[in-house]
Amino acid sequence: MRCILLGGDERQGELAVILRRAGFHSVQLCHKALTPIDLPALTDELSQLGSGDLLILPQPISEKYGRLCLSGISEGISLEKALECVNENVTVCAFRCETKIKRKRLVLPMESEEYLAYTSQLTAKALLLHWYHDEEFTLLGKKVLITGYGRCAKAIARELKDLGVKVIVSARSVHQLSDAYMCGFGAVPLETLYEKSADFDILVNTIPFQVLPAAYIGSLSKSVRLYDIASSPYGFSIETVESLNLYAERLPGLPGRYYPRLCAQKVYELIVRNMREAEI
């Protein structure tokens, strides 16, 4: 079976290696360097899409502004253009189901609760690794506020609690706040968070919406560190934070950054399982 992998995310590269070792013929089409537009190279890459039996789309974080990075053109091509080039019988492995790919046969590893739970745990561990690698930073004696209480937030809160770090959770859902409180975390409704003085050293946002207004960010102590692990449109404006001389980092896609091989192995297992169930 010929597998075409789109995107230059490290997870895609590791997945291509795993597929080859498993006996698949895999080709990764990705952006390799910022080069001027090379139409012959682009045409050659797009022609390969039509010869694939299995098309593996990139995970959302490895797409930039809705365009896929291919080596022949620095700004990449659109997902729609890539799908136009594949044959109608191809099996498309997608990490999110969208109308533009529903006309193809789908394998959806990202729809798996198992995969989402697994990557949430890796996200938490990757965030800790990111902090450990910062020689000017320590969690000792710190208090952490986490906005949101989904899979990733829960995993991060548990990891921090195990290290003895005091954790406060801020969310809109009464159920989530009750759950956080029962797990031993502080719980603050998101609606009232802005009315209180900031009693924390680190803020970790997990909500993919602008939930932290500029006025609230401006009220924070200059010693507070902000980390946004959510996907676009993110939880706060990085420009606003920088203009206020606060420390902030935007860290989407942490599992792909620190654990690309583990992510790729899990994706491979899910793809094989889904293909077997679909009798492909």
For β-strands 202-205 and 143-147, DSSP reports them as: parallel
Residue-by-residue DSSP string for 132-189:
HT-TT---TT-EEEEE--SHHHHHHHHHHHHTT-EEEEEES-HHHHHHHHHTT-EEEE
CA-CA-CA-CA torsion for 82, 85, 87, 90, nearest 10 degrees?
-20
pLDDT at position 64 is 43
Q: Has residue 122 got a pLDDT over 80?
A: yes
d(CA 79, CA 64): 11
Of 54-63, 138-147, 186-195, 263-272, least confident by mean pLDDT is 54-63
Collapsed DSSP state (helix, strand, coil) of residue 99: helix
Judge whether 230 and 205 are in contact, CB under 8 Å: yes
Most confident of 76-90, 186-200, 221-235: 221-235
pLDDT at position 110 is 59
pLDDT at position 33 is 43
Q: Which of 189, 215, 221 is nearest to 203 (CA)?
A: 221
Q: Which of 264, 148, 113 is nearest to 156 (CA)?
A: 148
Q: Has residue 111 got a pLDDT over 80?
A: no
| Residue 48: its H or E element | helix 39-49
Judge whether 92 and 57 are in contact, CB under 8 Å: yes
Mean pLDDT of 181-195: 92
pLDDT at position 67 is 42
Judge whether 155 and 126 are in contact, CB under 8 Å: no
Mean pLDDT of 113-139: 93
Residue-by-residue DSSP string for 249-277:
EE-TTHHHHH-HHHHHHHHHHHHHHHHHH
Beta sheet of 2-6, edge-to-edge order: 25-29, 2-6, 54-56, 91-93, 105-107
pLDDT at position 280 is 75
Neighbouring CB atoms inside 10 A of 79's CB total: 19
For residue 74, what pLDDT band results from cuts at 50, 70 and 90?
very low
Of 95-104, 132-141, 160-169, 205-214, least confident by mean pLDDT is 95-104
Which domains can be identified in the chain, with CATH numbers?
Answer: 2-110 (3.40.50.720), 115-257 (3.40.50.720)
* 231-279 pLDDT per residue, tens: 888 999 999 998 999 999 999 889 988 999 999 999 999 888 888 887 7
Neighbouring CB atoms inside 10 A of 97's CB total: 11
Of 33-37, 121-125, 144-148, 268-272, least confident by mean pLDDT is 33-37
